[in-house]
C-alpha cells in the first residue's frame, strides 16, 4: 500500500513537472528570477522529447508499483485521469518531437515577450 501511494505521488510530481515545463514561463512575467529554475526544466523536457528518452520518474514509478505488488494500474482518480496524460497509448516518435517543439515554442514566445518588454522599458 505504501509503495502504491509513493507511485501515485511520483505520477503527480511528473504531471506537475510537465505543467511547469510547458506553462511555467508565465511565472517569469511576475518573478523574473524564476527563469533560472524554469529554463533548465524546459531544456530537460525538450531534450527528453527530442531524444526519445524516458524520464527517470517513469521507471521510478514502475518500480514503486512493482514493489507494491502491482503490475498494472488500479482504477483510481490518478490512474484514470492523470496516467493517460503522461503515458498515452498513441505516443509515437513524431508526436514526441511535436511535444518538444510545443514546449519550446510556448516558452520561446513567453521569454521573447518578456525580453522585448524589458528592452522597451529601458529605452
Instruction: Give 75's pLDDT tier (boundaries 50, 70, 90).
Output: very low
Q: Express each pLDDT in 16-40 by its tens digit.
A: 998 999 899 989 888 888 899 999 9
Q: Give the angle subtended at the CA of 104 by the CAs of 107 and 62, to the nearest 5°.
A: 110
Which cell numbers in the block locate residue 65? 508499483
65: confidence class by pLDDT, cuts 50, 70, 90: confident
For the entire predicted model, the pTM comes to 0.77
Tally of domains in the chain: 1
Which residues form the domain of 49? 2-122
The confidence band for 78, taking pLDDT boundaries of 50, 70 and 90, is: low
Q: Is the pLDDT of residue 51 over 80?
A: yes
Amino acid at each position: 500500500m505504501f509503495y502504491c501511494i509513493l507511485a501515485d505521488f511520483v505520477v503527480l510530481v511528473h504531471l506537475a513537472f510537465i505543467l511547469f515545463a510547458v506553462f511555467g514561463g508565465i511565472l517569469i512575467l511576475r518573478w523574473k528570477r524564476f527563469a533560472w529554475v524554469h529554463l533548465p526544466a524546459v531544456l530537460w523536457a525538450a531534450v527528453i522529447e527530442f531524444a526519445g528518452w524516458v524520464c527517470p520518474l517513469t521507471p521510478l514509478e514502475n518500480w514503486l508499483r512493482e514493489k507494491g505488488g502491482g503490475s498494472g494500474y488500479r482504477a483510481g482518480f490518478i490512474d484514470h485521469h492523470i496516467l493517460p496524460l503522461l503515458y498515452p497509448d498513441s505516443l509515437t516518435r513524431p508526436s514526441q518531437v511535436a511535444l518538444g517543439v510545443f514546449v519550446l515554442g510556448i516558452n520561446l514566445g513567453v521569454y521573447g515577450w518578456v525580453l522585448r518588454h524589458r528592452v522597451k522599458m529601458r529605452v
